[in-house]
Amino acid sequence: MSIVSIEPATPDRWEDLARLFGPTGAYGHCWCVYYRRRAKEFTASVSCAQPERGNENRETLRRLTLDGKVPGLLAYEGDEPCGWVSVAPRKEFVRLARSRSLRPVEPSEPGIWSIVCFWLPPRRRRRGMGTRLLDGAIEYARINGGRVLEAYPVDTAGGRAPSAEIYPGTVRIYEKSGFTCTPHPTSGRPIARLDLKSE
């Protein structure tokens, strides 16, 4: 497999992003807005009681993309979208600020970007795509003024876990790319950080 490019999700690529996520919006109608919406709003949008599950999430991501906010990066093989990473300034992820386990230690710290999610279709997994997307996210954050790139990985202790559980990436993939992983001072959850200015 040869990935031709990793590109920002600009307005002209919205249809590619929607096609990649498919009718269920990647992870259970999420449409990669879990960290961009308040908990109550998100929970209501994916409730089994809602006939059109995930539509609000899809519309949130669509508006964001068409407004030119660039919610993340798409991997392409030829003209075919084949992977996704959500990377943006940390302040755009409202749920991080409210999270008990991931709340920023220094909320006003300037220049912090965050990676919150990867999405790969099943046939694209375990083929190095995640590393390529992570490399693209590092470079994108750096050239757009990021000072530090932060992520919230899952520690699988070197084993495997279902993809739905490791959507933020694993400790191993971040450490291999030069991130330092330390426990959150309150929750103990791993926080991965990379100083972009020293690269």
Domain boundaries, the chain: 5-198
Please check whether residue 28 is in contact with residue 58, taking contact to mean a CB–CB distance below 8 angstroms: no
**Domain spanning 5-198 has what CATH number?**
3.40.630.30
Q: What is the pLDDT of residue 128?
A: 78
Q: Residue 43, SS3?
A: helix
- 111: alpha, beta or left? (left if phi > 0; alpha if psi -120 to 50): left
> For 111-136, what is the mean pLDDT?
87
Query: Which amino acid, one-letter code, is at 113?
Result: W
Task: Please give the C-alpha separations between residue 50 and each of 42, 46, 129, 188, in angstroms, as whole numbers.
Answer: 12, 7, 34, 35
> For the whole prediction, is pTM greater than 0.95?
no
Task: Please give the C-alpha separations between residue 54 and each of 30, 33, 123, 147, in angstroms, as whole numbers.
Answer: 6, 10, 24, 34
Each residue's pLDDT tens digit, 10-53:
999 999 999 999 988 888 889 999 999 988 888 777 766 565 77
Question: For the chain, what is the mean pLDDT?
Answer: 88
